[in-house]
Amino acid sequence: MSIDIYADKLQNVWLFGRSVLYTPQPIQRESVPEGWYCYDLQGSAGSPDKPHVLVDQASERFAGCILSDVPLKSSRSHGELVPNLFWATAIPLTLAEHCTEEGIPYPQPMDVKSAGLETVSAGFGLSMNLGF
């Protein structure tokens, strides 16, 4: 089961000095808006459910997801330790509410089906060479 980042409430947390959104459920990477970043939190061997490391995608011990409008880790690093840098504010917010509160532009949901139809219909019209 995954979360709908546009409709469901996520937990507002502070991580590496930034206000970001957290969910204990997976986020489908296809739903992440352009210019936003999604990371998995991975637990340790001793505490698999407690966030320990921020990674691009957790291959084991999944402990949640982070959604951020800024990069939180270097693309060259495998992961960033988070045990003492993860503070929950206990404020559940939708993505729109988070953007309003942080003063950042709200990303428009990607409608994959209609984006594909526009491309197909534009190509169809051009291939017909109707002379308009």
Tell me whether residue 5 is in a domain: no
Tell me whether residue 51 is in a domain: yes
Give backbone dihedrals phi and psi of 52, rounded to 5 degrees, phi first. Answer: -125, -40
Tell me whether residue 18 is in a domain: yes
Tell me whether residue 120 is in a domain: yes
* Domain ranges, residue 18: 10-128
pLDDT score, position 118 = 47
> What spatial distance separates the first Cα and last Cα of the chain, rounded to whole Å?
48
Higher pLDDT, 58 or 87: 58
Give backbone dihedrals phi and psi of 129, rounded to 5 degrees, phi first. Answer: 50, 60
Tell me whether residue 119 is in a domain: yes
DSSP conformation class of 97: H
pLDDT tens digit string along 41-84?
A: 999 999 888 888 999 999 899 999 999 999 998 777 778 888 66
Tell me whether residue 53 is in a domain: yes
> What residue type is assigned to position 87 of the chain?
W
- Share above pLDDT 70 across residues of the chain, in percent, rounded to a whole number: 77
Tally of domains in the chain: 1
Least confident segment among 37-41, 73-77, 118-122: 118-122
